[in-house]
Amino acid sequence: MRTLAFQMPDRGGGPTGPRIRVGRPSRRSRTLLMTLGVLAVLGMAFTMFSGFWTDWLWYRSVDYSSVFTTTLSTKIGLFFVFGLLMAAAVGFNIWLAHRLRPPLSAMSVEQQNLDRYRMGIAPYKKWILLAITALVGLVAGASAGSQWRTWLTWVNGVDFGRKDPQFQLDVSFYAFDLPWYRFLLGFGFAAVILSLIAAAVTHYLYGGLRLSSPGAKATGAATGHLSVLLGLFVALKAVAYWLDRYGLAVKSSDFKATDNWTGLRYVDANAYLPAKTILFCIAVICAVLFFATLWRRTWQLPVIGFGLMVLSALLIGGLYPAIVQKFQVQPNEQAKEAPYVAKNIDATRYAYDIGDTEVSPFSGRGAAPDKKPELRGQADQAASIRLLDPNIVSPTFQQRQQIRSYYGFPENLDVDRYTVEGQTQDTVIGLRELDLNGVPKRNWINDHFRYTHGYGVVAAKGTEADNEGLPVFTEYDLPSQGQLGTYQQAVYYGEKTTQYSIVGGPQEEIDYSKDGQEVGTRYQGKSGVSLSNPLNRAAYAVAFSEPQILYSGAIGEGSKILYNRTPKERVEAVAPWLTIDGDPYPAVIGGKIQWIVDAYTTSNGYPYASRTTLGDTTSDSLTTDQRAVIAQQDRVNYIRNSVKATVDAYTGEVKLYEWDTKDPVLKTWMKAFPDTVEPRSAISDQLMAHLRYPQDLFKVQRELLTRYHVEDAETFLSGSEVWQVPDDPTNKVGEAVPPYYLSMKMPGQSEQAFSLTTTFTPNGRDNLSAFMAVNAEAGAEDYGKIRVLKLPTSTTVQGPKQVQSAFNSEQDIAETIRLLSGGDSQVEYGNLLTVPLDEGLLYVEPVYVRGGGLKYPLLRKVLVSYNGQTAFEDTLAQALDKVFGAGGEAQPPEEETPPGEETPPVKGDATLDEALKDVQKAFDAGQEAFKKGDWEAYGRAQEDLEEALKRAEEARAPSAGD
């Protein structure tokens, strides 16, 4: 038998030339290169180790090492399990495809070309297989490790005790189970697709698949192998169709001009749901046909089945629902969608804890003129009007109580309440925190060893100012003294404390200044990580990219490093499953300064509940990076203020307290991280007195209540009752008005309660729609009770923007403002507070003046408005006296014209008639613009209407001689 010998072609042919001998590197060079390589590898390894080691040391220092170990072990477990599964799946299919290769390839041109590759990789087949499986395993493992939250909630999930209205499954299935099933499904798809690609390439390389060779395009073995993989893919698609049925209850859709609607609508229940069931059955049959090729060795039937499945997906899953929507829903949308909207309303109100909102009618017109003198006394009892705006007076605190340049206050101070001599008063409070920008000489020692902390609390009465317009301080000076008693004043942990400090060693710290002398101290708290051993110092030198930590003589026995020092950072680190409120606030409790941090449990899987983006709904005109809610882009449709946390300003100790004892999401996480959250009973009475309803939750709820105050589905669909949160009229940034803390009485309440309040206006208009308040006092029986005063749509009551505009446009007030703004002075408007008072709304706004050589604002005037009457006086008492006719001349109330009657002209008939015509013209233009949804034109019409009304009022007013 004649044999064929294949030889590689001779690549020679040119002149050889002189040979150059390339010498091998010397032994010394090889040793040096090897040493450098080993050092580089060790350096990279230590860099990775230092991150792990410093994290472990930090968690151990705050006594939350179980959070670190649970999270790390879960990530590692998922990494290895799913990494090995992916590597095994891909590796097995490559091995199987190689094993099923034909014994002898046909000698076609295609196979001759492939022979070169086969011969080239033959010596390295095992290594190539190992490299491919390791790569896909690492990628899959890393992806699976990021699902540690999904795994922990699935394993530890607790029932909600509520079922979805469509499938009658407990909500926990959607919140905890469905996300894990979807991850498994996605992993399965990835494994099958990668295995299919790897198997197809291997079969092609070894002749099992042929693209251009004569004869059969695939061997029987290759056909069977690839058919099984395609069958697995189609089987997974069947599972996906089945899960998609439940996914309809939590899918987002664009409905009624909003993209955050979730839950089934008419077309989902009557078209998509049966379509998914039919497609599931078709996919199962198609998968069986692919598996049958193991015996039939032909792809004819499975290919036909797959084509039918794709066609069915287009027709049943796409075209049919579109037909139902077009010809069944749209002609009678309100009747078809109403039952599903009702389910969405019920689920949303429960998921955001607004289901018990009490909506009461409120006229907003105020008392009759003859009753106004009585209201003067009632005004004092209705609310403790806070004249000190915590968002304006920070510079005043800074200038009057900074004491040293290296201390500072937050841009936005906080409002709390303190009981002094039996009287509870609203208090504006801030901590004198360290500000390194004011350190006289900046260097590494001063920044991290000498200037390490702030000192003391500064507080002032919220309802008063002295004769100069300055706050009435109840805690002041350095060291701080006043009405708060004795407490540990050093502030090592605070909102402005973002740098690391090294304390407790040979280097003394500056504690505070007294009589011009710096008082020294050494930190005695238990927090911080020890730097006494070289390993820790080396790890932190690498982690913080600061080599001086390794060799500095300022570090010695007893030295500890403090970092992660803001309250939000610490709570977020020890409870990574919580969403943190954007406004931690300090309180003096039991001889300590404690930061109080509100934290939320959230879910994105509550069926039928509409979604919201936390970053959007919690932003307002005062939101800054410091006060922004953590996880801003999180889209959620369930939220609870389930945890109250405290951070000790001196020791940094973090404590988590269970607040919502019924929240299933919190119970799930408490199972996953046992012994990290203390029971609600552990909250002391002193701490309870300072807990309050959180702002960010209130903002989310008020945004939802702009639509979901409506419980009737048909009214909801009509959109006639949609409200909006008005823009802040005292701030030109165009953002929503912030909610305000205020001690006040709502109608029906017998005494004042510390409350959080806001207002609503109709969508696209500026008049008032409703006033909302929640009892923010944690110790009260009705804590968290939301009350809404709904104004009738048939009347027009001034909203915040209109009240502010009325203030600014009144001639006497405008002239006074102009005088106050003279020279280099600047007028700043404080918070515009709204208080219900005898079926009317009392508006109060402090006015500050900054200038004349002063760097801080002083309270100079108080604006008050009630039922269209305004006053602009030096004090709140004077303004109230003037508005209610006590101690001053009250402005006459505006006379209302009965419907259908014209206002009789008093003088200047021609001018009045012209003004009235302009009123009617502007009103008609506004109505037309409103119908068209042209809000720009509507705004212009409202301005024209206001101007015409003003001219009409001036024309009908009697002259001085009449």
CA 835 to chain centre: 29
| pLDDT attached to residue 9 | 38
| 364 or 489, greater pLDDT | 489
Looking at residues 634-660, what average pLDDT do you find? 95
Task: Dump pLDDT digits (tens) for 108-145.
Answer: 666 666 677 777 777 888 888 899 999 999 999 999 99
In this structure, how many other beta carbons lie within 10 angstroms of the beta carbon of residue 358?
Answer: 12
| pLDDT attached to residue 112 | 64
| pLDDT attached to residue 149 | 96
Can you give the pTM of this predicted structure?
A: 0.85
Using CA atoms, how far apart are residues 962 and 944, in angstroms rounded to an integer? 30
Question: Is residue 776's pLDDT more than 80?
Answer: yes
- For residue 29, name the pLDDT band (cuts at 50, 70, 90): confident
Using CA atoms, how far apart are residues 446 and 518, in angstroms rounded to an integer? 14
Q: Which amino acid, 221? A: A
Using CA atoms, how far apart are residues 810 and 829, in angstroms rounded to an integer? 16
Nearest C-alpha neighbor of 463 from the set 494, 420, 399 = 420
Place of tokens 């009973």: 681
Question: Is residue 616's pLDDT more than 70?
Answer: yes
SS3 at position 48: helix
Phi, psi for 336 (deg, rounded to 5): -70, -40
Using CA atoms, how far apart are residues 173 and 246, in angstroms rounded to an integer? 9
Q: Are the C-beta atoms of residues 238 and 287 closer than 8 Å to each other?
A: yes
- For residue 836, name the pLDDT band (cuts at 50, 70, 90): very high
- For residue 625, name the pLDDT band (cuts at 50, 70, 90): low
CA dihedral 358, 363, 369, 371 (to 10 degrees): -20
Instruction: Return the structure tokens found at 674.
Output: 């046992």
Place of tokens 């001639």: 811
DSSP class of residue 47 equals H
Question: Is residue 22's pLDDT more than 50?
Answer: no
| pLDDT attached to residue 757 | 95
CA 757 to chain centre: 21
Q: Which amino acid, 459? A: A
Of the ranges 98-112, 164-178, 312-326, the best mean pLDDT one: 164-178
Q: At what angle are helices 220-247 and 178-205 packed, to 10 degrees? A: 160
- 628-643 exposure pattern, b = at least 16 Cβ within 10 A, e = fewer: bbbeeebebbbbbbbb
Nearest C-alpha neighbor of 396 from the set 855, 863, 894, 920 = 855
Question: What angle (nearest 5°) sits at the alpha carbon of residue 736, between those of residues 730 and 740?
Answer: 70
Dihedral-angle region of residue 97 (phi above 0 means left; psi in -120 to 50 means alpha; beta otherwise): alpha
Question: Is residue 690's pLDDT more than 70?
Answer: yes
Query: Which residue stretches of 512-575 are H helix?
Result: 534-543, 548-551, 567-574
- For residue 4, name the pLDDT band (cuts at 50, 70, 90): very low
CA 481 to chain centre: 38
Secondary element (H or E) of residue 843? strand 840-850
In this structure, how many other beta carbons lie within 10 angstroms of the beta carbon of residue 107?
Answer: 11
Phi, psi for 291 (deg, rounded to 5): -65, -30
| pLDDT attached to residue 921 | 74
| pLDDT attached to residue 540 | 94
| pLDDT attached to residue 341 | 92
Question: Is residue 892's pLDDT more than 50?
Answer: no
Instruction: Return the structure tokens found at 659.
Output: 């607040």
Q: Are the C-beta atoms of residues 592 and 601 closer than 8 Å to each other?
A: no
The dihedral through the CA atoms of 561, 567, 570, 573 has a sign that is negative
DSSP class of residue 960 equals T
Task: Dump pLDDT digits (tens) for 349-398.
Answer: 999 999 999 999 998 887 766 666 788 888 888 899 999 999 899 999 99
Phi, psi for 609 (deg, rounded to 5): -80, 135
Q: Are the C-beta atoms of residues 378 and 367 closer than 8 Å to each other?
A: no
| pLDDT attached to residue 811 | 83
Q: For residue 198, what are the CA distances in angstroms to 92, 111, 133, 450, 883?
A: 10, 19, 10, 62, 83
| pLDDT attached to residue 332 | 87
| pLDDT attached to residue 626 | 58
Q: Strand 471-476's sheet: what is its strand order?
A: 414-420, 423-431, 457-465, 471-476, 481-482
In the chain, % helix, strand, coil (3-state, to 5) comes to: 45, 20, 35
| pLDDT attached to residue 740 | 93
| 331 or 515, greater pLDDT | 331
Place of tokens 């303190």: 418
- For residue 516, name the pLDDT band (cuts at 50, 70, 90): confident
Using CA atoms, how far apart are residues 625 and 260, in angstroms rounded to an integer? 25
| pLDDT attached to residue 949 | 63
- 45-64 exposure pattern, b = at least 16 Cβ within 10 A, e = fewer: eeeeebeebbebbbbebbeb
| pLDDT attached to residue 261 | 87
Which are the contacts of 269, defined by CB distance < 8 A and separation ≥ 6?
Answer: 166, 340
Task: Dump pLDDT digits (tens) for 53-101.
Answer: 999 999 999 999 999 999 999 999 999 999 999 999 999 999 999 888 8
Query: Which residue stretches of 62-108 are H helix?
Result: 65-99
Instruction: Return the structure tokens found at 87.
Output: 């590597």
Instruction: Return the structure tokens found at 145.
Output: 């490790």
Instruction: Return the structure tokens found at 835.
Output: 């208080």
**Could you tell me how many residues make up the chain?**
962
SS3 at position 632: coil
- For residue 916, name the pLDDT band (cuts at 50, 70, 90): low
| 891 or 149, greater pLDDT | 149
How are beta strands 579-580 and 592-603 bridged, if at all?
antiparallel
Using CA atoms, how far apart are residues 924 and 935, in angstroms rounded to an integer? 14
Which are the contacts of 89, defined by CB distance < 8 A and separation ≥ 6?
Answer: 191, 192, 194, 195
Percent of the chain beyond pLDDT 70? 86
| 930 or 317, greater pLDDT | 317
- For residue 104, name the pLDDT band (cuts at 50, 70, 90): low
Q: For residue 228, what are the CA distances in angstroms to 131, 162, 300, 658?
A: 25, 41, 14, 52
Burial (CB count <10 Å: 0-12, 13-18, 19+), residue 705: buried
Using CA atoms, how far apart are residues 932 and 889, in angstroms rounded to an integer? 45
Question: What angle (nearest 5°) sits at the alpha carbon of residue 543, between those of residues 542 and 547?
Answer: 35
Question: Is residue 937's pLDDT more than 80?
Answer: no
